[in-house]
């Protein structure tokens, strides 16, 4: 079963932090214990030397200050050391066991139990080190110092080690607590916007095209939010276009169909004579219908045809021959054609480029006012080929400009009804240019005219003759 991000992150944080604390605790405990044992061993030796020196200081002119030595001995006993001082002649000066044998035994038993508690396998025993005290190379005494060996921990030592372990346990608890808090904090920062995005995606699937306002400082999530917003915007536009298309198609079909129907009905009912003029008007309506259906068919053909048939051809010749086909339309509208056409060889799909240019020229003529000018030119720059088609016609409003390359989008509905277009030409042109990895731009001002600029790579052989429609 899928776990929530919050749970997963928190668990991972706890595992990682606990593992690190445990590792640090084990390692430092181990290093510390080894060091501490060494320290304790060295401490026993340095304490022993101190005791021997202090005893030596209490020897004056062949006499021992026994009460001072007893002080030293009692002090040492409290610190776990059993002292016996014997003078040069073998006489006992002071002996801890004689002084308090019970305390000596208790002390050794106490340290033995200290060590066994800490190290159950500790091999400890009573040890005695012997030191000679000499003055001018004359041996004046022998000091034997006994303790629980090879080393022992005093109660303070044990307290120190236990405090250290306690500190590690507290740190571990704190780390788990911080991990949980951090896990929650970070997972909230990740999951909150994701939950918001997923809700939004659900809303979008139900047709509520909303814009997610959440901003995330995690770049991937920020990208996701932007993509979903983009998707929402695109779907909204598409839905708008789809609705508009249904409306347009219904409207476009209904007008010629109802005219046809009423004309034919009138003829069938004998109200009208089926003369040439009336039949011609029926034929015109049928042709409008045919043109509309033809446009829709053309679009589906271009959308499915993703293959490019790339050849090398002279773009200048192609443009000239296309222009020749438009001569009649230009004359009919009284338009002046201004051209600046250069011979440029290009690798591209000739038929498709021709189709793209035809669509632009036919629009330039269609949306020109009678008597205006149409400019057609091409040039080569930086291995890129540019084709420019400009008119002085009606222009396109700023509000329509972003949509004109969308399928079935028509800027000025009333004018378009007269011109008869279905809003398909530019979307076909754009998909052809995209196939060639080129671009198309438009500059337009309402009532001043429009300029379409196609940019194509001169050598499109890199496209490998196929183009995969990845829309």
From residue 204, how far is each of 155, 192, 209, 235, 240 by CA, in Å?
Answer: 72, 18, 5, 8, 14
The CB-of-289 to ligand ADP minimum distance in angstroms stands at 15
Q: Which of 188, 234, 184, 183 is nearest to 211 (CA)?
A: 234
The nearer residue to ligand ADP, 221 or 360, going by C-beta atoms, is 360
The CB-of-291 to ligand ADP minimum distance in angstroms stands at 10
Q: Which of 175, 204, 191 is nearest to 21 (CA)?
A: 175
CA gap 389, 401 in Å, rounded: 16
The CB-of-395 to ligand ADP minimum distance in angstroms stands at 6
Joined tokens for residue 460: 């499109």
CA gap 412, 397 in Å, rounded: 9
The nearer residue to ligand ADP, 153 or 408, going by C-beta atoms, is 408
Which residues of the shown chain bind ligand ADP in the complex (CB under 6 A)? 359, 363-364, 367, 391, 393-396, 404, 409-412, 416, 421-427, 450
**CA end-to-end distance (rounded Å), the chain:** 34
Task: Indicate the angle between helix axes 155-205 and 5-57, nearest 10 degrees.
Answer: 170
Can you give the C-alpha Rg of the chain in angstroms? 51
DSSP at 369: P
The nearer residue to ligand ADP, 157 or 391, going by C-beta atoms, is 391
The nearer residue to ligand ADP, 222 or 412, going by C-beta atoms, is 412
* Local structure of 78: helix, strand or coil: helix
The CB-of-458 to ligand ADP minimum distance in angstroms stands at 26
The nearer residue to ligand ADP, 222 or 400, going by C-beta atoms, is 400
The nearer residue to ligand ADP, 282 or 364, going by C-beta atoms, is 364
Q: Which residue is nearest to ligand ADP (CB)?
A: 421
The CB-of-419 to ligand ADP minimum distance in angstroms stands at 7
The nearer residue to ligand ADP, 314 or 355, going by C-beta atoms, is 355
The CB-of-421 to ligand ADP minimum distance in angstroms stands at 2
CA gap 135, 192 in Å, rounded: 85
Q: Give one DSSP letter per residue of 3-41, joined into a string.
A: PPHHHHHHHHHHHHHHHHHHHHHHHHHHHHHHHHHHHHH
The nearer residue to ligand ADP, 84 or 430, going by C-beta atoms, is 430
The nearer residue to ligand ADP, 423 or 457, going by C-beta atoms, is 423
Give the angle 300-301-307 at the CA atoms, nearest 5°. Answer: 125
**Cβ atoms within 10 Å of 82's Cβ, excluding its own:** 25
Is the CB of residue 112 less than 8 Å from the CB of residue 146? no
How does strand 59-60 pair with strand 63-64?
antiparallel
Joined tokens for residue 445: 């001002």
The CB-of-243 to ligand ADP minimum distance in angstroms stands at 17
The CB-of-246 to ligand ADP minimum distance in angstroms stands at 16
The CB-of-451 to ligand ADP minimum distance in angstroms stands at 9
- Residue 270 region, left (φ>0) first, then alpha (ψ -120 to 50), else beta? left
The CB-of-466 to ligand ADP minimum distance in angstroms stands at 26
The nearer residue to ligand ADP, 13 or 409, going by C-beta atoms, is 409
């Amino acid at each position: 079963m899928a776990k929530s991000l919050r749970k997963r992150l928190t668990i991972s944080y706890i595992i990682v932090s606990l593992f690190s604390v445990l590792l640090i605790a084990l390692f430092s405990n181990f290093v510390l214990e080894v060091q501490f044992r060494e320290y304790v061993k060295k401490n026993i030796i340095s304490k022993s030397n101190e005791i021997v020196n202090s005893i030596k200081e209490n020897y004056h002119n062949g006499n021992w200050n026994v009460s001072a030595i007893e002080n030293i001995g009692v002090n040492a006993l409290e610190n776990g050391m059993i002292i016996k001082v014997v003078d040069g002649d073998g006489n006992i000066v002071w002996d801890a066991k004689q002084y308090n044998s019970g305390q000596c035994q208790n002390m050794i038993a106490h340290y033995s139990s200290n060590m066994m508690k800490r190290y159950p396998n500790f091999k400890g025993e009573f040890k005695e080190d012997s030191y000679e005290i000499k003055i001018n190379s004359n041996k004046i005494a022998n000091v034997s110092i006994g303790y629980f060996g090879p080393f022992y921990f005093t109660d303070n030592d044990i307290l120190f080690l236990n405090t250290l372990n306690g500190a590690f346990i507290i740190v571990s608890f704190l780390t788990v607590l911080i991990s949980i808090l951090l896990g929650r904090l970070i997972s909230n920062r990740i999951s909150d916007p994701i939950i918001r995005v997923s809700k939004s995606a659900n809303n979008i699937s139900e047709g509520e095209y909303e814009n997610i306002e959440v901003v995330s400082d995690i770049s991937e999530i920020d990208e996701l939010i932007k993509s979903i917003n983009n998707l929402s915007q695109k779907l909204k536009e598409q839905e708008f276009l789809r609705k508009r298309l249904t409306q347009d198609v219904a409207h476009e079909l209904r007008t010629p169909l109802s005219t046809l129907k009423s004309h034919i009905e009138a003829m069938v009912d004998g109200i009208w004579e089926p003369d040439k003029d009336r039949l011609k008007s029926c034929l015109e309506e049928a042709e409008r219908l045919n043109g509309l259906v033809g446009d829709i068919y053309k679009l589906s053909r271009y959308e499915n045809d993703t293959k490019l048939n790339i050849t090398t051809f002279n773009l200048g010749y192609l443009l000239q021959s296309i222009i020749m086909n438009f001569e009649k339309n230009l004359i009919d509208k009284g338009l002046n054609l201004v051209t600046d056409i250069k011979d440029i060889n290009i690798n591209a799909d000739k038929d498709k480029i021709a189709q793209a240019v035809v669509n632009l020229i036919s629009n330039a003529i269609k949306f020109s006012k009678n008597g205006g000018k149409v400019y057609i030119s091409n040039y080569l720059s930086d291995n890129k080929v540019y084709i420019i088609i400009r008119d002085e016609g009606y222009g396109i409003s700023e509000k329509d400009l972003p949509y004109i390359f969308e399928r079935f989008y028509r800027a000025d509905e009333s004018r378009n009804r007269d011109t008869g277009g279905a809003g398909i030409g530019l979307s076909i042109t754009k998909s052809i240019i995209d196939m060639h990895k080129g671009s198309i731009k438009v500059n337009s001002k309402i009532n001043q005219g429009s300029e379409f600029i196609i940019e194509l790579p001169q050598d499109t052989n890199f496209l490998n003759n196929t183009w995969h429609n990845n829309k």
